[in-house]
Chains A and B, each alone.
Chain A
């Protein structure tokens, strides 16, 4: 089974509207972290937001918020007031701690977001 599932290959939104990008995850760990990264057409990977599995409040960073529903194993990214510059590929990722001190990130396949004027 895939560890990170992003079911939306592409999303369209109009400028200034809010958009939600879906992410579900699969882990048996109690301690894990969830991340969202943005990859514009230029190729770089930009860290957006992080949610720890023990965090009780949803993470927020400016216009980005993470809707964390632990029981449903979902970590959706909400972008408020979309801007043209938000057009990019968005990746959800999970870090699972391995106990011995190392951890790795597993990425989903990504969602392409296009923001129109």
Chain B
């Protein structure tokens, strides 16, 4: 158990819908990262927050957004969902920007 929690574990929804994925980092970790893992794209970095501020953006679609709250938990919002958004979404956290990242168990999103 990495100490990073993600909810829900599984999510099945229809195209065009909006969902919110939640992440709680390890105690003491200030940085939160979101990744998408799909069969065709592999593991891709989406976005990073550090102590509430957005610090880096990767291959995140405009339909996706995220935020980190004052209690350091983070949410990833996915809207206007398409079949291709079906993937495993990971949240990771680290103490600082230069230390190893610990991953949560992931949320498996299926868009039908």
CA distance A109 to B42 in the complex (A): 6
- Is there a chain B Cβ closer than 8 Å to A117's Cβ? no
Residues of B within 8 A of A95 (CB): 98
Complex partner residue of A97 from B50, B98, B108, CB under 8 angstroms: B98
Stretch among B12-20, B62-70, B71-79, B99-107 lining the A interface: B99-107
CA distance A47 to B29 in the complex (A): 15
Stretch among A14-22, A63-71, A98-106 lining the B interface: A98-106
Verify A33–B105 contact, CB threshold 8 A.
Answer: no
A residues neighboring B (CB under 8 Å):
33, 35, 37, 43-47, 50, 91, 95, 97-98, 101-107, 109-110
B residues neighboring A (CB under 8 Å):
2, 33, 42-45, 48, 50, 55-56, 58, 88, 90, 92, 97-98, 100-106, 108
CA distance A1 to B66 in the complex (A): 29
Verify B97–A102 contact, CB threshold 8 A.
Answer: yes
Complex partner residue of A107 from B42, B97, B102, CB under 8 angstroms: B42
Closest Cβ of chain A to B54, distance in Å, is: 9
Instruction: Known A43-B88, A47-B103, A97-B98; judge A104-B48 contact (CB<8 A).
Output: yes
Residues of A within 8 A of B2 (CB): 44, 46-47
What are 7 A-B pairs at a CB distance below 8 A? A44-B106, A45-B92, A46-B103, A98-B56, A102-B97, A104-B58, A105-B45
Closest Cβ of chain A to B69, distance in Å, is: 19
Residues of B within 8 A of A91 (CB): 43
Closest Cβ of chain A to B112, distance in Å, is: 20
Residues of B within 8 A of A33 (CB): 98
Verify B50–A37 contact, CB threshold 8 A.
Answer: no
Verify B103–A104 contact, CB threshold 8 A.
Answer: no
Task: Using A33-B98, A46-B103 as known contacts, list a sample of 9 further A-B pairs with CB atoms less than 8 Å apart, ordered by residue number in A.
Answer: A43-B88, A46-B2, A95-B98, A97-B97, A101-B97, A103-B56, A104-B33, A104-B48, A106-B45
Smallest Cβ-Cβ distance to A109: which chain B residue: B42
Verify A104–B56 contact, CB threshold 8 A.
Answer: yes
